[in-house]
Amino acid sequence: MGQSPVSTDVALGEQGKQVGYLRAPASTNSSAWGSVLVPIAVIENGEGPTMLFVGGNHGGEYEGPVALLKLIRELQPEQVRGRVIILPALNLPAVTAGMRLSPLDNKDMNRVFPGRWNGTITEVIAHYIHEEILPLCDAVIDLHSGGASLALMPYISMHYLDDEAQRERTWQAMMAFQSPLALVMKEISGPGLLDYAVENMGKVFLCAEVGGVGMLAPATVNITEVGARNLLKHFGVIEGEPLSRERRGLSPMQLMEIPDADCYQMALSAGIYESFYELGDRVEAGQPLGQIHFVQYPLREAEVMAAKRSGMLVGRRGPGGVAVGDVVGVVAMETGD
Ligand SMILES: [Zn+2]
């Protein structure tokens, strides 16, 4: 394997708070010898677990970057036992552009793991994270939102894991996040996720999806900030007990699951999607979930889509327009136990 061209000005293993960059060379039309500077913070104090918080794995998802920028400024080494690594804008070119994919190579950071040392800029950054950062970590928390295309109920999620000990550690951590919803789920997104890279190393991985439709709202920022601090407390990296929703006068975190691809409702026609339900509504399998209108054919009846699963609508298409293959609805089911 070749040598990564990425370098950094932070020294892992050094005590204290360091804020710097991962520097990845990027030759572009506007910058011959330029680099992408991915911000990184390391806050380290004595013995303890290493936690990695990631924001901006996709651009256009704002809660993670905002919560993590605040955490970098607020967290002091004397409050920490162990090490906190924070990457508030992992796919920096995408975050800067407010786009899901990097405009430099049109790649989705969360589809290219484990990356390539001599690949495109997104692959090169992923490779460095995979080789140099992930092996140091005990737990990785990846903060997403629905971005421009999805509206999602705020949730923390984990995958179905085969290893019992890993599943239990991940489960305990998930329950500490204290968002309105917690999901155990199966993905339909294919390979290359940061999730799988971390899970394959036997570590704890959690994905938060908080917010969406290109917005940043006080409530979703708050859920992300409280959740991140709850996880730091859960792992004993900062002092205190995780702050439960009940103690804040809120309804308890609801636990549901997404066991298969039928929970994701897909558009089979292009048009304008009209959802019959709001997020959080109960839907029944076989009953109409929404319909697609065909604006250039006024006399053509709208195409009604029946829900394939009974449960709660936890996600739906953000913009009105849909193309064939777009996810228009996500239904989570009651857990078996
Ligand atoms: Zn995302």
Report the CATH number that the domain containing residue 314 is assigned in CATH.
2.40.50.100
Query: Distance between CA 107 and CA 87 in Å, rounded?
Result: 18
Scanning the structure block, which residue is given the tokens 């809120």? 250
Residue 99 in any domain: the answer is yes
Residue 248 in any domain: the answer is yes
Distance 229 CA to ligand 1 centre (A): 20
Torsion angle of alpha carbons 314, 319, 321, 322, nearest 10°? -40
Distance 264 CA to ligand 1 centre (A): 16
Residue 63: its H or E element: helix 63-74
Q: Residue 85's closest CA among 99, 75, 97, 96?
A: 75
Q: What pLDDT is attached to residue 190?
A: 85
Q: What pLDDT is attached to residue 189?
A: 87
- Provide the b/e sequence for 200-232 (b: ≥16 CB within 10 Å): eeebbbbbbbbbbbbeebeebbebbbbbbbbbb
Distance 297 CA to ligand 1 centre (A): 35
What's the angle, vertex CA 310, arms to CA 266 and CA 214, rounded to 5? Answer: 45
When the pLDDT of each residue in the chain is averaged and rounded to a whole number, the result is: 97
Residue 1 in any domain: the answer is no
Distance 258 CA to ligand 1 centre (A): 17
How far, in Å, are 148, 160, 207, 309 from residue 259 at the CA level? 25, 8, 16, 11
Distance 20 CA to ligand 1 centre (A): 24
Residue 89, helix vs strand vs coil: coil
Question: How far separated are the first and last CA of the chain, in Å rounded?
Answer: 46
Residue 2 in any domain: the answer is no
| Shared domain check, 172 and 52 | yes
Query: Distance between CA 277 and CA 290 in Å, rounded?
Result: 8
| Shared domain check, 173 and 45 | yes
Residue 137 in any domain: the answer is yes
| Shared domain check, 238 and 287 | no
Report the CATH number that the domain containing residue 191 is assigned in CATH.
3.40.630.10
Tokens, residue 36: 């992408």
Please report the DSSP string for 121-146 in residue order. HHHHHHHHIIIIIGGG-SEEEEEE--
Distance 164 CA to ligand 1 centre (A): 27
Give the pLDDT confidence of 232-282 residue by residue, as tens digits: 999 999 999 999 999 999 999 999 999 999 999 999 999 999 999 999 999
Distance 252 CA to ligand 1 centre (A): 25
**Among candidate residues 203, 230, 258, the one where a domain is terminated:** 258
| Shared domain check, 282 and 206 | no
Q: What pLDDT is attached to residue 187?
A: 87
| Shared domain check, 161 and 49 | yes
- Binned at pLDDT 50, 70 and 90, residue 1 comes out as low
Domain tally for the chain? 2
Distance 302 CA to ligand 1 centre (A): 31
Q: Residue 109's closest CA among 197, 12, 23?
A: 197
| Shared domain check, 31 and 54 | yes
How far, in Å, are 20, 44, 105 from residue 78 at the CA level? 20, 9, 40
Tokens, residue 13: 């293993």
Using the predicted structure, report yes or no on whether residue 21 has a pLDDT greater than 90.
yes
Query: Distance between CA 88 and CA 90 in Å, rounded?
Result: 6
Distance 224 CA to ligand 1 centre (A): 14
| Shared domain check, 250 and 267 | no
| Shared domain check, 111 and 171 | yes
Distance 56 CA to ligand 1 centre (A): 8
| Shared domain check, 213 and 70 | yes
Tokens, residue 307: 């829900």
Distance 144 CA to ligand 1 centre (A): 4
Distance 155 CA to ligand 1 centre (A): 13
Q: What pLDDT is attached to residue 242?
A: 97
Distance 295 CA to ligand 1 centre (A): 30
Whole-model pTM: value is 0.97
Query: How many beta carbons lie within 10 A of that of residue 321, not counting itself?
Result: 12
Give the pLDDT confidence of 214-230 residue by residue, as tens digits: 999 999 999 999 999 99
Give the pLDDT confidence of 67-100 residue by residue, as tens digits: 999 999 999 999 999 999 999 999 999 999 999 9
| Shared domain check, 266 and 184 | no
Give the pLDDT confidence of 107-156 residue by residue, as tens digits: 999 999 999 999 999 999 999 999 999 999 999 999 999 999 999 999 99
**DSSP designation for 230:** H
Q: Which residues surround ligand 1, an ion (CB under 5 A)?
A: 58, 61, 144
Q: What pLDDT is attached to residue 35?
A: 97
Using the predicted structure, report yes or no on whether residue 337 has a pLDDT greater than 80.
no
Distance 245 CA to ligand 1 centre (A): 24
Query: How many beta carbons lie within 10 A of that of residue 319, not counting itself?
Result: 14
| Shared domain check, 182 and 122 | yes
Scanning the structure block, which residue is given the tokens 């996709």? 58
| Shared domain check, 247 and 162 | yes
Distance 241 CA to ligand 1 centre (A): 28
Residue 143 in any domain: the answer is yes
Query: How many beta carbons lie within 10 A of that of residue 127, not counting itself?
Result: 24
Q: What pLDDT is attached to residue 36?
A: 98
Domain holding 16, by residue range, is: 7-258
Using the predicted structure, report yes or no on whether residue 2 has a pLDDT greater than 90.
no
**Among candidate residues 228, 258, 288, the one where a domain is terminated:** 258
Distance 291 CA to ligand 1 centre (A): 26
**Among candidate residues 225, 258, 291, the one where a domain is terminated:** 258
